[in-house]
């Protein structure tokens, strides 16, 4: 009986070590892919280039990913999960609804600026159509719905507090802000993703609230 329990425990330990090792290899490959895509560009990069950057044989790479498209999809999913955590933290930490909207923009822009090359690849791979809601993949849909729900809840809170006009619904306000923000982001991507997007969050927020007329 004691030997059976010991064998089961040993088996569990080995399985845990294998899973942790596999997860570490996957992460190393994703990190290497990010560097390779940034250095060579997505289309020019090859699986062999990623393997070399990761310090593994090309055959080892294929044990974890079938293609660089699959690698990129995993990178994107990982980034989306981190972004959801970031905006959820903002939602919980900022009590003032209008300042929370500004914090959503600042957090979003900081996230995009940090991962500018990744986002640029996403757009060039067809993400632009997905970003405009024409064909959302499951992970994008989850991200979009979560972010939109937080915006709509915040706008509803601001309306109830008398901070925003009551004749425009929270979903319409969220859509208007998203349109203005997306236009700014697309312009930033076309300019090559310079390190100035975060600084534009306050401007986008001010124009959304007050318009572009001279005051």
| pLDDT at site 131 | 39
Q: What structural domains and CATH numbers belong to the chain?
A: 1-66 (1.10.10.60), 67-215 (1.10.357.10)
Per-residue DSSP letter, 134: S
Q: What is the mean pLDDT of residues 165-173?
A: 96
Q: Give residue 43's pLDDT band: very low, low, confident or very high (50, 70, 90).
A: confident
Which residue did the predictor score with more confidence, 143 or 148? Answer: 148
Q: Which of 14, 45, 7 is nearest to 29 (CA)?
A: 45
Secondary structure string (H, E, C) spanning 150-162: HHHHHHHHHHHCC
Tell me the angle at which helices 97-114 and 138-160 cross, rounded to the nearest 10 degrees.
150
Kindly tell me if the per-residue pLDDT of 161 is higher than 80. Answer: yes
Please enumerate in sequence order all residues whose Cβ is within 8 A of that of 91, keeping only pairs 6 or more positions apart, or say none. Answer: 100, 104, 150, 153, 154
d(CA 97, CA 186): 26
Element (H, E) at 59: helix 58-61
* Global confidence as pTM: 0.72
Q: Give residue 133's pLDDT band: very low, low, confident or very high (50, 70, 90).
A: very low
d(CA 209, CA 164): 9
């Amino acid at each position: 009986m004691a030997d059976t329990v010991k064998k089961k425990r040993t088996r569990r330990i080995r399985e845990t070590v294998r899973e942790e090792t596999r997860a570490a290899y996957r992460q190393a490959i994703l990190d290497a892919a990010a560097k390779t895509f940034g250095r060579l560009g997505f289309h020019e990069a090859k699986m062999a280039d990623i393997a070399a950057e990761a310090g593994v044989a090309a055959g080892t790479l294929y044990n974890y990913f079938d293609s660089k498209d699959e690698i990129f999809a995993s990178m994107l999913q990982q980034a989306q999960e981190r972004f959801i955590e970031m905006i959820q933290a903002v939602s919980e930490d900022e009590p003032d609804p209008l300042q929370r909207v500004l914090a959503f923009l600042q957090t979003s822009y900081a996230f995009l600026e940090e991962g500018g090359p990744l986002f640029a690849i996403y757009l060039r791979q067809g993400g632009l159509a997905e970003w405009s809601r024409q064909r959302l993949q499951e992970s994008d849909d989850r991200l979009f719905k979560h972010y939109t729900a937080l915006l709509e809840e915040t706008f509803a809170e601001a309306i109830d507090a008398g901070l925003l006009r009551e004749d425009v619904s929270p979903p319409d306000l969220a859509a208007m802000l998203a349109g203005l923000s997306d236009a700014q982001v697309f312009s930033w991507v076309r300019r090559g993703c310079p390190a100035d997007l975060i600084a534009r969050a306050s401007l986008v927020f001010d124009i959304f609230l007050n318009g572009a007329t001279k005051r």
